[in-house]
Amino acid sequence: MAEPKFAPSILSADFARLADAVKAAEQAGADWVHVDVMDGHFVPNLTFGPKMVADLHKATRLPLDVHLMIDRPEDWVDRYASAGATYLTIHVEASNDVPGTLQAIRSRGVRPGITLNPETGVDAVLPHLGAVDLVLVMSVRPGFGGQKFIEGSLDKVRAIRAALDQRRLAVELEVDGGIKPNNAARVAAAGATVLVAGSAIYEDPDGPVAALAKFKRAVLG
């Protein structure tokens, strides 16, 4: 098992000090920064817009992994692409035109991703595997940090891993929600290549740099 990439979610960081949060992620050896965009409609919470992504893009050299928890993501592709998103991930439940939206993302030079809620079966994303650079398995109901990992998500990770391998697709398989040092190795062993963690990084009393070191120790064994 190769070491997974780590994508700290700034959802659990101090929103008044986000530049410090991304600097800490860099210092800790994070691979990406995970940016949770919420619109108060698709999920019952509100966070960032395109200007925040543009400002974060100026503040860090790390790739910005933008998770759009918004209705009608097709209406926002241009603005998030212009803001400097590296990956732009849409929910399969949120768009009337998933293939067209993924294509629009790619045509803007951004890496398209697809994700699914815990209630949604993997069959919803399988038709899109050939059109994406990333599949994100939500292991909590989206909207808030600090929730408990849904164990049934591991079966979804295994099923998507098998489908990607069978089709020889080099697509990142990311898992988001409730990931801690004590379950990270199991998630990676199920086939994930990218682990998102919010509260376990930014609410660790030892600080984000020490927190990410705990994750790395946990997955290296």
Interface residues with ligand DX5 (CB under 6 A)?
9, 11-12, 34, 36, 67, 140, 142-143, 145-147, 176-179, 196-200
Catalytic residue, from 36, 65, 71, 133: name it: 36
State the alpha helices, DSSP H only, in 9-152.
18-28, 50-59, 77-83, 98-107
Smallest gap from residue 36 Cβ to Zn ion (A): 4
List of E strands, the chain: 5-8, 33-38, 64-69, 87-91, 111-116, 134-138, 172-176, 194-197
Q: Which stretch binds Zn ion (CB under 5 A): 34-42, 107-115, 166-174, 182-190?
A: 34-42
Smallest gap from residue 180 Cβ to ligand DX5 (A): 8
- Contact between 172 and Zn ion (CB under 5 A)? no
Binder to Zn ion among 57, 67, 91, 111 (CB under 5 A)? Answer: 67
Contact 212, 23 (CB under 8 A): no
Smallest gap from residue 64 Cβ to Zn ion (A): 12
Q: Among Zn ion, ligand DX5, none, what does residue 65 contact (CB within 5–8 Å per kind)?
A: none
Q: Among ligand DX5, Zn ion, none, what does residue 5 contact (CB within 5–8 Å per kind)?
A: none
Question: Phi first, then psi: what are they for 209, rounded to 5°?
Answer: -70, -45
Task: Tell me the HSE value of 95 on the side-chain side, using a 13 A CA sphere.
Answer: 25
Catalytic residue, from 14, 176, 204, 206: name it: 176
Cα 161 to Cα 1, 88, 136, 151, distances in angstroms: 13, 20, 11, 16
Catalytic site residue 176? yes
Catalytic site residue 206? no
Which residues are known catalytic residues? 36, 176
